[in-house]
Amino acid sequence: MKDNSNKGILIFGGARGIGGETAKYFSERNWNVIAADILDKELGELEKSGKNIKTVHCDVAKFEDIENAYKFAEKELPRLNGVFNNVGIARYGTVDKLSLEDWEFTLRVNLTAQFISSSFAVPIFKRNGSGSIVNTASVLAHMNQKTTAAYSASKAGVMALTRGIAVDHALDGIRCNSISPGSINTPLLKIVAEDIMGRTSEDVAAEWAEFHPVRRLGRPEEIAALVYFLINDELGFITGSDYKIDGGSSIQLFK
């Protein structure tokens, strides 16, 4: 295995689901990992799962928490090579029903947090001479479901932000790409199914799987593999792109 012991990644939303699996994926490949999240219990469990995983409390809606995560990463990592901005929340409603507060909070977490994070990453990467950022968009940045105007707008903004960073900092040795996951089988699915929809997660997973040509949901470790691919410094010609990982759901008009 390649020696990655001098490499480090900071993962926001890193406690569980996609972020947690990505932390483990990098750790298993000898990267040094900082996982930042608001879920302290899950962070503690994650830290015990890998010898080179450290964690820090972070609410990405707060500027000072993101700043503190970077200070912690610079102190604890031998070098910061990559940042995975794995953040996102949803507030549902049509534009005539959705409150301004919900609209602004959705953009704050989904888009502004990734801007703030990137604004800290870029100076560090400039000093290092290289670095890679992976932002999290969504398949709903490419198309919409009903009542997802705020979420879709925020995630489409992430794609534009990603292109801007890539263009502005290409000559600094900094790459920036985004990923657009479809329906992924994470703890969030269970929360949506049981707490919002009042159904079992198994029933909802089976129903959502039918919307994908591959007839299943994605696995968090599949997202982790894509992030690892994009962070890898051997792929220096890839920047400013968005990668859909959605089981084909965005290419099929009718089932």
Give me the residue spans of the domains in the chain: 8-182+230-244, 184-217
Mean pLDDT of 218-239: 94
For the chain, the farthest-separated pair of C-alpha atoms sits apart, in whole angstroms, at 55
Confidence band (pLDDT; 50, 70, 90) for 252?
confident
Confidence band (pLDDT; 50, 70, 90) for 255?
low
The answer to whether 230 and 134 have CB atoms below 8 angstroms apart is yes
Confidence band (pLDDT; 50, 70, 90) for 246?
confident
For residue 97, give both structure tokens: 């029903």
Instruction: Name residue 133's beta-bridge partners.
Output: 83, 176
222-225, long-range: CB < 8 A, 24+ apart: 222/184, 223/18, 223/21, 223/22, 223/179, 223/181, 223/184, 224/18, 224/21, 224/22, 224/24, 224/25, 224/26, 225/25
Q: Please state which of the ranges 7-16, 78-87, 149-158, 196-205 shows the lowest mean pLDDT.
A: 196-205
Task: Kindly report the pTM of this predicted structure.
Answer: 0.94
Mean pLDDT of 53-75: 98
Flag whether pLDDT at 192 surpasses 70: no
Q: Please state which of the ranges 6-20, 94-108, 126-140, 215-229 shows the lowest mean pLDDT.
A: 215-229
The CA distance from 168 to 195, in Å, is 42
The CA distance from 147 to 97, in Å, is 9
pLDDT score of 54: 98
CATH code of the domain occupying 8-182+230-244: 3.40.50.720
The CA distance from 253 to 130, in Å, is 41
What is the residue-averaged pLDDT of the chain?
Answer: 92
Catalytic residue among 25, 70, 92, 151: 151
Mean pLDDT of 36-52: 94
Flag whether pLDDT at 69 surpasses 80: yes
Flag whether pLDDT at 215 surpasses 90: no
Mean pLDDT of 48-67: 95
Instruction: Name residue 11's beta-bridge partners.
Output: 35, 84
> What's the number of CA atoms in the CB half-sphere (13 Å) around residue 143?
12
Is 151 noted as a catalytic residue in this protein? yes
